[in-house]
Amino acid sequence: MAAAANGEAILETVGLTKRFGGLVAVDTVDLAVWPNRITAIIGPNGAGKTTIFNMLSGVLRPTGGTIRFGKRRIDGAPAYVIARLGIARTFQNVQLFEGMSVLENVMIGRHTRTRAGMMAAALGLPGVAREDRTARGACMEALAFVGLAERANDDAVSLPFGQQRLAEVARALVAEPRLVLLDEPAAGLNTHERTGLAAMVSALPERGITPLLVDHDMDLVMDISHDVAVLNHGRKIAEGPPRQVQSDPRVIEAYLGEEVATC
Amino acid sequence: MSTSSQILQCIFTGLTVGSIYAIIALGFTIIYNATDIVNFAQGEFVMLGAMIMVTLQTVVGLPVWLALPLSIAAGAIVGALLERLAIRPLRQASILTAIIVTIGASIFLRGVAMIAWGRDAKVLPPFTKSGALFVGQAYIMMPQSLWVLGVTLVVVVGLMAFYSRALVGKAMRAVAINRYGAQLVGISPSRMVFWSFALSGALGAMAGILIAPITFAGYSMGTMLGLKGFAAAIFGGLGSSAGAIVGGIILGLLESFAGGFVSSGYKDAVAFLILLAVLFIKPTGMLGGKAGR
Amino acid sequence: MARKRTTHIALAGFGVLLLVAPLVVRQPYYQSIMVVIGINALAVAGLNLLMGYAGQVSLGHAAFLGIGGYASAILTVNHGINPWLAILAGVAVTCVVAWIIGVPTLRLHGHYLAIATLGFGIIVNIVFVEWRGLTGGQSGIAGLPELRLAGIALDSHLRLYLLVWGCVYLATIATANIQHSRAGRALRAISSSEIAAQTAGINTGRYKVQVFVLSAALAAVAGSMRVHYMSFANPEPFGFAYSIELVVMAVLGGSGNVWGPVVGAGAITLLTEVLQPLGKMVRPSGAELHVPAFGLILVLMLIFLPRGVTTSLALLTQRLRGARRAG
C-alpha cells in the first residue's frame, strides 16, 4: 500500500482469516488503511468483502489473524467496544431502526459521544435534557451534510432507499469516528445520488474521518479512492492506486473470469 | 422399602414418565422443525386427549379400542384447528409473537376444558385391568406403565418409518431441511405446517391417554406436562427427534430419582433447573439440533 | 417540542384524574378494584419497559412480585422490621436476583429467552411453596402490619389507592422520561436491530440487564403493595397464571407506550371482575371464564392489533394528523 511516507496505518490486518465450517470466506488477508486517505476494497461477488467488514466492526470473530486499530488489537473485541474506539459502519442492507424517526436514528449514532444513563433519564435529571439538546444539534448538522435535514422527523423506514442509505451515513458520521466503514454505499442509488455520495465521501478526509469502502461500482471507486485492494475468493490478489489496479491482469481475470465461468 | 427396590421403582417410574415426556417432546420437535415455532399449547393437546378419552369411555360408554383412535383423531383435529385459526393468520410476525399466540391458545384451551369438564379430576381406567406388579416385597409399577413403554416404542418406530418411507413424512423432512428447496420440488410448506400440527396434536393426545390412568385427568394436567416435555426437547436438542426421546427418558429418570431420594416437593423443579442449565450452557442441547433462532 | 408538551399535559390530566376518581367512586368494592388495577399497572409498567421498549420478553414476572412481596411479609411479620424498610429490602433482594438471572438469560433470544424466563418463574414459585420454613408453604404468611405514613395508618382502600397510584404515577413519569432519552433510544434500537445497535456503540447486554432489573424492581414494589393490601402472602398469586396475565395486560395495553400499562391493567382487571358473575351462571362453583377470555384476547390481539391498544391509537392519530397536514 502507499508507503510509510504517510506514517502509521490507522487500521491494519495481518493474516485475517474467517472460516465457516469448511468454507474459507476470508483467507489470510493483509490490509493497511492510511489516515485521511480513501481506501476501497473491491472484488467480485462472494469475494469476502462484507465478511471482512463484519470482522473489522466486531460483528464476526476472526478465525485467525490480527486486526490493529492504531496501536490496539481489536480482533475478537465486542462490536460496541470497537465502536467506542472510533470505528463506525453502514450496512449493505441498511439497518435503520424501525419505529424511530430519521433524527432519532441519527441520535443513536451519537450514543458514544453522550453519557446519560437509564436511571438519570428516569429521574429526569437536568443534565440529561441539556446533553440531548447538544446532541440534537450535532445530529441536525450531520443530516444537513448528507442533505436530509428536512426529513429529520419522518419515519426512517418510510424514506426511499437512497435516502435511507444517506441517513445511515449520517448516523455513522455523527459518532465522529476516525474510521468509517461504508458497505456498498452506492448500491441502489441513482446517478444523481451517486454523484452526491462521491462528493460526500471525498469530503470526509478533510474532516478527519478516514473512509474505507466496499463497493461494486467501479466508477465511484476509481474516481474517489486513493488506495484500492482487490479480493477474489477471500484472498487479496492486488493492491495499489486505482489506475494501477484497474489494469492489473489478475484483477481483470478475476472479474471477467467470473463472468465466463457463470455461462 | 429397601434401597434396591426403591431404586428399581424409581427406574420404572422414571422410564414411564420419561416416555410420556419423550412423546410430548416429539410433538414440540415436529412443529419446531416445520415452522421454527415452539408450540406452547402442546400440553393442552395432552390434556384434551385424556379428557376426551374419559368422556368417550365413561360417559358415552365406548370400548377402549374405539375410544382410543377417536380421541387421537380429536387431538389431531385440535392441532389442525390451532394451526389454521391462530398460526396461519400470523404470517410474517416475529417468533416472539408466535410464542405468545400459542400461549394464548394454550390458556384458551385450558379455560374451555375447565368450563366443559369442571375442576374435579377424572378417573381414566387403565387399558388392561390387572394387579400391580411386584418384585419381591416391593411394588414396582402398574401394568399401565408397560403399556406406556410399549406404545412409546411403537410410536418411535412408527415415526421413524413415517419419516423415511411415507411421502408426507419425507416431505416434512424436506421442509425442515430446506424450505425453499422443498418448495422448488413442489412441496407446499404451508401444507406441511398443517400436517405437522395435526401430527403433534395426535401425539400429544396419545401421551395424555397413556398417562392419565397413572396420574389423573383434569383440566390443568396439560400445563406442567407440556412445559416439562418442552424442557426435555430442549435438553435433548430442539429440532432433533432422537434428542427429544433421549431427553424425555433422561428427564423422567432424573425427576424420578430426585423425587425418591431428595425431596418429592422439589421434584417438579428438576425439569426446569435442567432447562435453565441447558439454556445457559449449551442451548442447542445434548444432540445438537438446529442452531437457536 | 410539541410532543413533550402533549405528554406534560397528559400527565397533568392523569394526575388530576387520579385525585378526582376516589371522590367520584365511593363504594369500597369499586375502590378495592381500583387498588388492584393500580398494583397490576405498576407491575406492567416494568414489563412494558422490558417488552414494549426493549423488545425482550418475560414469562415469569410474577416471581419478582413474589420475591418483593415475601420479603415484605417475612421481614415485617417474622422479624418485626419497619414495613417501609422491608419494602426497600425486598426491592434490593429482587434486583440482585434479577441481575443474577438476567445476565445469562438475556444472552438468549426468541423462544429460548421466553422459556428461560418461564422456567425461572416456575422454579421460584416452587420455592415459595416448598421452603416452608421461610415462606410458610401453601398457607403463606399472615398478619402483615398496616403501612403507616406520618403516623396515619394506610388501612383503607382510599389510602392504599393513593399510595399505589402514587407509585404508578411516578413509574409513568419515569417511563415518559426514559422514552425519549438516550437510554430509551438505545432500548428501542436494541428492539429493532441488536447488531446495528452494537455497532453504534451500545452495550446491548448491559442495557438489557439494566432494564430487566428495573422492571423487576417495579414488580417487587407492586408485590409488596399487594401483600400489605391483602395482609398476607401466599404462593398462589405469584405463579405462572399471574405471569401470563401480566403479559396479556402488557400486550393489550400497548407496547412502547407510556399509557399502555394503565390501559391494559384496567381493561383486564375490569374484564375479570365482569366475567366472574357470568362464570357463576355457567357453573355454580365458579367457571374461570377469564382464563379462556384472556387466551382469546391474546390470540386476537396479536393477529389483528399486535401493537396493542394505545400504540395503535397513537399511530392512527399520527397518520390522521399527517394526512391532514398533507391534504
Residues C278-294: pLDDT tens digits? 887 877 776 678 888 89
pLDDT at position B286, please?
A: 80
Of C188, C201, C210, the CB nearest to A112: C201
B238 three-class SS: coil
CA distances from A34 to A6, A71, A107, A179, A244 (A): 7, 13, 28, 10, 18
Residue A188 clears pLDDT 90, i.e. is over it: no
Instruction: Tell which residue, A197, A179, A29, A25, has the closest CA to residue A89.
Output: A179
B275 CB neighbours in chain C (<8 A) are 115-116, 119
Provide the pLDDT confidence category of residue C255 given band limits of 50, 70 and 90.
confident
C224 against B168, higher pLDDT: C224
CATH class entry, domain B3-281: mainly alpha
For residues C316 and C313, give the distance between their C-alpha atoms in angstroms, rounded to a whole number: 5
Domain residue spans in chain B?
3-281
- Over residues C309-322, the pLDDT tens digits come to 988 888 888 778 76
Q: Which residues partner with A231 through β-bridges?
A: A236
C283 CB neighbours in chain B (<8 A) are 115, 118
Average pLDDT over residues C157-179: 92
On whether the CB atoms of residues A164 and A157 are closer than 8 A, the answer is yes
Q: In the complex, which subunits touch C with 3 or more CB pairs below 8 angstroms? A: A, B
**B and C interact (at least 3 Cβ pairs within 8 A):** yes
The grid cell for A63 is: 478465525
Contact A97 C204 (CB under 8 A): no
CA distances from B208 to A158, B33, B126, B134, B212 (A): 50, 22, 12, 25, 6
The grid cell for A51 is: 465478511
What's the 3-state SS for B254-280? HHHHHHHHHCCCCHHHHHHHHHHHHHH
- Pairing mode, strands A23-33 and A227-232: unpaired
pLDDT at position C235, please?
A: 92
The half-sphere exposure of C23 on its side-chain side, counting CA atoms within 13 A, is 5
Contact A80 C214 (CB under 8 A): no
Average pLDDT over residues B72-93: 89
Residue C277 clears pLDDT 50, i.e. is over it: yes
Residue C327 clears pLDDT 70, i.e. is over it: no
B137 against C160, higher pLDDT: C160
C193 CB neighbours in chain A (<8 A) are 95, 97
Give the CA diameter of chain B.
63
Q: Tell me the CA end-to-end span of chain C in Å, nearest whole number.
A: 23
Average pLDDT over residues A23-37: 92
Of B96, B103, B280, the CB nearest to C298: B103
CA distance A37 to chain C (A): 23
Residue A260 clears pLDDT 70, i.e. is over it: no
- Over residues A34-44, the pLDDT tens digits come to 998 999 999 88
On whether the CB atoms of residues B49 and B208 are closer than 8 A, the answer is yes
CATH class entry, domain C31-326: mainly alpha
For residues C297 and C82, give the distance between their C-alpha atoms in angstroms, rounded to a whole number: 41
A96 CB neighbours in chain C (<8 A) are 196
For residues A13 and B255, give the distance between their C-alpha atoms in angstroms, rounded to a whole number: 52
Give the CA diameter of chain C.
69
Provide the pLDDT confidence category of residue B268 given band limits of 50, 70 and 90.
confident
CA distance C126 to chain B (A): 7
Average pLDDT over residues B233-259: 90
Instruction: Work out the number of other CB atoms within 10 angstroms of the CB of residue C249.
Output: 29
CB pairs under 8 A between B and C: 139
Question: How many helices and strands (H and E) does chain A possess?
Answer: 10, 10
For residues A202 and B13, give the distance between their C-alpha atoms in angstroms, rounded to a whole number: 74
Give the CA diameter of chain A.
65
Contact B93 C306 (CB under 8 A): yes
Burial classification of residue C102, based on how many CB atoms lie within 10 Å of its CB (0-12 exposed, 13-18 middle, 19 or more buried): buried
For residues A129 and C177, give the distance between their C-alpha atoms in angstroms, rounded to a whole number: 10
B179 against A71, higher pLDDT: A71
Share of chain A above pLDDT 70, in %: 95
Contact A95 C214 (CB under 8 A): no
CA distance B127 to chain C (A): 31
CA distances from B152 to B24, B155, B201 (A): 11, 5, 15
Q: Does A19 touch chain C (CB under 8 A)?
A: no
pLDDT at position C158, please?
A: 84
Contact B101 C240 (CB under 8 A): no
Provide the pLDDT confidence category of residue B291 given band limits of 50, 70 and 90.
very low
pLDDT at position A14, please?
A: 94
pLDDT at position B292, please?
A: 37
Instruction: Tell which residue, A71, A84, A66, has the closest CA to residue A30.
Output: A66
What are the DSSP E strand ranges found in A95-163?
Answer: none
Average pLDDT over residues A123-134: 90
Mean predicted lDDT score pLDDT of chain B: 85
Interface with C, mutate which of B235, B272, B290 (most C CBs under 10 A)? B272
For residues C83 and C64, give the distance between their C-alpha atoms in angstroms, rounded to a whole number: 18
Interface with C, mutate which of B83, B107, B281 (most C CBs under 10 A)? B107
Residue A4 clears pLDDT 50, i.e. is over it: no
Instruction: Work out the number of other CB atoms within 10 angstroms of the CB of residue A2.
Output: 14
Instruction: Tell which residue, C271, C274, C226, has the closest CA to residue C252.
Output: C271
Residue A56 clears pLDDT 50, i.e. is over it: yes
- Over residues C235-245, the pLDDT tens digits come to 989 999 999 99
Of C199, C210, C214, the CB nearest to A83: C199
- Over residues A213-242, the pLDDT tens digits come to 998 777 888 889 999 999 988 999 999 999
DSSP class of residue A110?
Answer: G
For residues C299 and A33, give the distance between their C-alpha atoms in angstroms, rounded to a whole number: 54
Contact A122 C174 (CB under 8 A): yes
pLDDT at position C94, please?
A: 97
Question: How many helices and strands (H and E) does chain C possess?
Answer: 14, 4
Average pLDDT over residues B134-147: 67
C296 CB neighbours in chain B (<8 A) are 104, 108
Interface with A, mutate which of C50, C169, C178, C181 (most A CBs under 10 A)? C181
Q: Range with the lowest mean pLDDT among A102-106, A108-112, A138-142, B217-221?
A: B217-221
Question: ipTM greater than 0.95, yes or no?
Answer: no
B37 CB neighbours in chain C (<8 A) are 111
- Over residues B184-221, the pLDDT tens digits come to 887 887 888 899 999 999 999 999 998 888 888 888 88
Q: Does A177 touch chain C (CB under 8 A)?
A: no
Residue C3 clears pLDDT 80, i.e. is over it: no
C311 CB neighbours in chain A (<8 A) are none
Average pLDDT over residues C175-199: 94
For residues B240 and C304, give the distance between their C-alpha atoms in angstroms, rounded to a whole number: 33
